[in-house]
Structure 1
Amino acid sequence: MANISISGIAGERKKRKKPGIPILVGIGLAWIAAMIFIALTADWIRPFNITAFDLKNRLALPGNPTHFLGTDELGRDVLSRLIDSIRISLLIAFGATLISAFVGTLLGFLAAYFRGIVEHIVLMLADFQAAMPFLIMSLAVLAFFGSSLPLLICLMGFYGWERYTRIARGLAISASKQGYAAAVTQLGASPTRVYLNHILPNIASTLIVSMTLTFPEIILMESSLSFLGLGVQPPMTSLGNMVGYGREYITRAPWIMLTPSVVIMLTTDGVSIVGDWLRDKLDPTLS
């Protein structure tokens, strides 16, 4: 009987140690999944072309039988433009986040491997990047070279790379001093194989969490540039572009500006909540 009761208590404790996904995190995951689905299927679910005019329904209110989210002053469907804006904004955010993570991690690994003058140069560049107001630098680059989608993605990719560099450098130095990295090196593995096949998988969880924190910041940065008129250019549209365009009609047609603003807010909040949850789940010191 004692053994049965002890095993029963142990089973109950194991059940209690497996909490489900919090409600807010579940909502955030569902919202992110919906945004990704919309971005991937934008060409099929978009009811109208983003440049199609419907002059008979100019500034139509949301709830219109033909235009669910209303129209702008040219009669363009707000829902169609919102769907296409979600695709462009997520494309910029995903592409820029991947570029930033790749560049930052590569420089961090180079600093950890070579040390010495290479490490000092990398850290000096990271300090310079952290001290430079990125928005001002972006405005100068876009004003000089002009705005295009590839240039905007590459430019946003230089945002936040110094964070990945510091994280990758510190964790790589720590991992290289542990037994598994030294053992693989003594077996004759090349530095590239050691860093890519052994060190990188062990620090990937920390880098993924950093990516979830950088992702919403890039969305806001792109929205700010598009709001100022130096981001995505017509006929393409993005969430920030819609907000900047709709500000002129905030009193007559507030839905033009408020709809993309709500999407920006919910997307950044959803990614931030999921990122905090992943940090808590993947951090071994909090388990």
Structure 2
Amino acid sequence: MSDQALPAAAAQKVFGRRWPGQDMPLLVKIALLWLVAMIVIAIVAPLISPFVYTAPNLRNRLVPPGTLPHILGTDELGRDVLSRLLISIRISLLIAFGASIISAVLGTTLGFLAAYFRGLVEQIVLMLADFQASMPFLILALSVLAFFGNSLGLLIGLMGLFGWERYARISRGLAISASAQGYASACRQLGASPMRVYLRHILPNIASTLIVSMTLVFPEVILLESGLSFLGLGVQPPMTSLGNMVGYGREYITRAPWIMLSPALTIVCTTLAVSVLGDWLRDKLDPTLR
């Protein structure tokens, strides 16, 4: 053994384990750092925003990037693009996280109900899942928002209906498989209630698969919200989001492309980072790939 390998081997022998991110690829580390940065920005956005994101200044219309004090320039109303970008990240991530959690909870609950009751309940859940998968969700979202109006709560709830059928199918199949195993039967024989069996024993064993599914649905929710806001049926002024900024900046793409470039690049990098992290988690947590 070489002299350089001795300290590493000794350290591994002393501590008995590897560091959590020691075998993480560089691309995954970059993606994780980007997501952490986005979450931190979303939390502290009002504190670090250099200007009020709704304050217009017609004297500074369409100022190019790099001009102090507007680092990323200004838009058609003289509003600071950086300030609007920070608040847009906050709103877009709030919608994406809220919708992803609602979708995961709804789909997992329906999947567990289908696995427990079987029969008619299972057929109804699978029929609803097939109906959801066969209908273009964008058309459904446009119809609901056009009929009921726009609000942040309604938008998050509507986005929460996206992708629930994936969780339902996965949780149903895994719950049926787990129920046939010995530990679930032993818990029932010891007198555990069905809710306790599913929440305390079955759910932790299938949580890794559901987490990977959430990382795959999350970027789709961001893109869907961006598309709705781009079409004018998502986040409404004075509130702003990444898709909202891209929608307003498309009219100035030839004269002031920086208005839509910064939110568009943020959308691309965030969705790419979540996808890369999700693929890595799938490879790490799937025992069949080891």
Q: Normalising by structure 2, what TM-score?
A: 0.93
Equivalent residue, structure 2, for 1:274: 277
Q: Residue by residue, what CA displacement relative to the aligned partner does 1:206-247 show, whole Å, maximum 9, x if unpaired?
A: 000000000000000000000000000000000000000000
Which residue identity lines up with residue 233 of structure 1 in the other structure?
Answer: Q
**Secondary structure of 1:71's aligned partner:** coil
Residue 93 of structure 1 is matched in structure 2 by 96
Counterpart of 2:118, as a letter, is R
Matched with 2:246 is 243
Matches within 5 A, 1:188-199: 188-199=191-202
Matched, 1:72 2:83: no
1:34 matches 2:13: no
Q: How far, CA to CA, are the matches of 2:58 and 2:29 in structure 1? A: 41
Q: What amino acid is the match of 1:134? A: F
| Equivalent residue in structure 2 for 1:176, among 154, 164, 179 | 179
- Runs of 4+ aligned residues of structure 1 deviating over 2 Å after TM superposition are none
Query: 1:286, CA displacement in angstroms?
Result: 1.2
Q: Deviation digits for residues 167-189 of structure 1, max 9, x if unmatched? A: 00000000000000000000000
Residue 19 of structure 1 deviates from its aligned partner by 5.9
* 1:109-152 superposed Cα distances (whole Å, 9 cap, x missing partner): 00000000000000000000000100000000000000100000
Alpha-carbon distance in structure 1 between the residues aligned to 2:200 and 2:169? 20
User: How far apart are 1:258 and its partner, in Å?
Assistant: 0.8
Distance 2:59 2:85 in 1: 21
Alpha-carbon shift at residue 284 of structure 1 (Å): 0.9
Q: Provide the rounded CA distance (Å) in 2 between the counterparts of 1:238 and 1:25.
A: 26
CA distance in structure 2 between the aligned counterparts of 1:138 and 1:74, rounded to whole angstroms:
30
User: 2:6 corresponds to which residue?
Assistant: none
Deviation for aligned residue 1:285: 1.0
Q: Distance in 1 between matches of 2:132 and 2:251?
A: 35
Give me the whole-angstrom Cα distance separating, in 2, the residues matched to 1:217 and 1:86. Answer: 16
- What does residue 141 of structure 1 align with? 144
What is the aligned counterpart of 1:234 among 207, 216, 237?
237
1:3 matched residue in structure 2: none
Q: Distance in 1 between matches of 2:120 and 2:55?
A: 58
Match of 1:201 in 2: 204
User: How many Å separate the matches in 2 of 1:83 and 1:256?
Assistant: 13
SS of alignment partner, residue 251 of structure 1 = coil
Aligned counterpart in structure 1 of residue 48 of structure 2, from 40, 45, 48: 45
1:128 counterpart residue number: 131
Unaligned 5+ residue runs, structure 2?
A: 1-8
Per-residue CA distance 1:60-118 (angstroms, 9 max, x = gap) = 01001110000011110000000000000000000000000000000000000000000
Matches of 2:169 and 2:244, distance apart in 1: 33
Unaligned runs of 5+ in 1: 1-7
Give the secondary-structure state (helix, strand or coil) at the position aligned to 2:282: helix
Quote the offset at 1:58 in angstroms: 1.1
Task: Give secondary structure in 2 for the equivalent of 1:48.
Answer: coil
State the alpha-carbon separation in 2 of the partners of residues 255 and 50 from structure 1.
16
- Residues of 1 paired with 2:230 and 2:22: CA distance? 42
What is the deviation of 1:54?
2.2
Amino acid at match of 2:251: E
| Cα deviation 1:237-265 (Å, max 9, x = unaligned) | 00000000000000000000111000000
TM (norm. structure 1) is 0.94
Amino acid at match of 2:130: D
Q: Aligned equivalents of 2:40 and 2:67: distance in 1?
A: 25
1:95 and 1:71 map into 2 onto residues whose CA distance is: 30
* Structure 2 partner of 1:5: none
Q: Tell whether 2:43 aligns with 1:55.
A: no
Rounded Cα–Cα distance in structure 2 between residues aligned with 1:275 and 1:283: 12
Letter of the 1:21 partner, please give it: M
* Cα offset, 1:56, TM superposition: 2.3
| Whole-Å separation in 2 of the counterparts to 1:20 and 1:282 | 14
